[in-house]
Amino acid sequence: MLSAYLAWKREQVVAALASRGLEAPVEEARPVPLASRRRAAFALGRAADCLAFGYGAARSHDIVDISACPVLSSSIAGRLPKLKSALAPLLGGKREARVALTEAEQGLDVMIEGIRPSPALFAKLAATGARIGAARITIDGESVILAGEPTVTLAGAQVRLPPGAFLQASRESETVLVGLVKEGVGCAKRLADLFAGIGTFTFALAGSAEVDAFEQDEAAIAALAGAARTTPKLKPVRTFSRDLFRAPLSPRELARYDAVVLDPPRSGAKAQAEALAASKVPKVVMVSCNPGTCARDLRILVDGGYRITRVVPVDQFLFSPHIELVAELER
Ligand SMILES: C[S@@+](CC[C@H](N)C(=O)[O-])C[C@H]1O[C@@H](n2cnc3c(N)ncnc32)[C@H](O)[C@@H]1O
């Protein structure tokens, strides 16, 4: 990977921290290989003189038709032309539909939104499922086909993948992030995994520590809980469905943990950072896909007495301006 490109990615993290008056050791950006992205969102719609299936053009409503993409895993990229021909008839009179693809172990999880095809087209799509490599197709949440419940394996735990549940962008970046989080919590024995999703960090950490996983999405936390029940050799995993924006863990609730991992959505975790800043938790590991909100929340933690000991950018959104990062803090 070009060093100038990775330096540009790293600089975004340095600049975000500096904008909040934070000086921290920011390591080189960790690269992620081409052809690794296992989830992506596409648009299906009308372009000037054809039907397009691809990405939204920058700062416009145009759709850029694609038949290949070097960032995508081969099981997604190799199926783009077939997906386009199978999905095109569904559009009918509509201007645009959104299609999210996730690579699961049984095949693609295809989530379509914004169209309501006729029963005949619905049936036709169901019949083409195998040809496009789909394990599941849903339209606006309704199942069209379910060849077998899609699953992903997270640190040895086989987890059901609810439609639309969060998954790190590539298996390779997941490995890097999990490694950094494990290094960050060190030998802590009682952990909280906040914004846990389906358990990317929970299962990796539960090999050697008790983990309490908190997540708002009920389908995601149910999938995590189900996998925790059937995975051998885990330390105790407890699961909680909770909105951490409205009801962050209080300093009193946080008192039982040796370390807290938090991986919020792009808007960050301001309320939870404020509660952590007032807590006595010795270690915090923050994972974020938005350096701006992450820097805001890190500032809150630093003002509460934490020191940032390590920051590692992870280039999991290849060739886009976005960058993931992991920050370690202690008090
Ligand atoms: C960036 S994802 C991280 C998921 C998980 N840590 C992983 O690596 O797979 C953010 C997660 O926060 C959850 N989330 C969003 N808003 C939330 C809220 N207000 N309270 C709790 N969880 C929330 C989302 O459902 C999503 O699973």
pLDDT by residue (tens digit) across 35-86? 999 999 999 998 777 889 999 888 888 899 998 999 999 999 999 999 999 9
Determine whether the shortest distance from the Cβ of 164 to ligand 1 is under 6 A. no
Determine whether the shortest distance from the Cβ of 220 to ligand 1 is under 6 A. yes
Helix axis angle for 291-303 and 270-277, nearest 10°, is 20
pLDDT in tens, 10-26: 999 999 999 999 999 99
Portion of the chain with pLDDT greater than 70, in percent:
100
**What SS3 class is residue 273?**
helix
Determine whether the shortest distance from the Cβ of 217 to ligand 1 is under 6 A. yes
Ligand 1 midpoint to CA 285 (Å): 15
Pick the residue whose CA is nearest to atom 4 on ligand 1: 197
Tally of CA atoms within 13 A in the half-sphere of 214 that contains its CB: 19
Residues across the chain:
331
Nearest atom within ligand 1 for CA of residue 167: 9
Q: Which amino acid is at 328?
A: E
Q: Is 289 a catalytic residue?
A: yes
**What SS3 class is residue 219?**
helix
Q: What does the block give as tokens for 2?
A: 């070009």
In which band, very low, low, confident or very high, does the pLDDT at 212 lie, cut at 50, 70 and 90?
Answer: very high
Domains and CATH numbers, the chain: 3-33+167-330 (3.40.50.150), 39-149 (2.40.50.1070)
Nearest to 27 by CA among 327, 331, 329: 327
> Other CB atoms closer than 10 Å to residue 75's CB: what's the count?
15
Burial of 316 (C-beta count, 10 Å sphere; 0-12/13-18/19+)? buried
Determine whether the shortest distance from the Cβ of 259 to ligand 1 is under 6 A. no
In which band, very low, low, confident or very high, does the pLDDT at 105 lie, cut at 50, 70 and 90?
Answer: very high
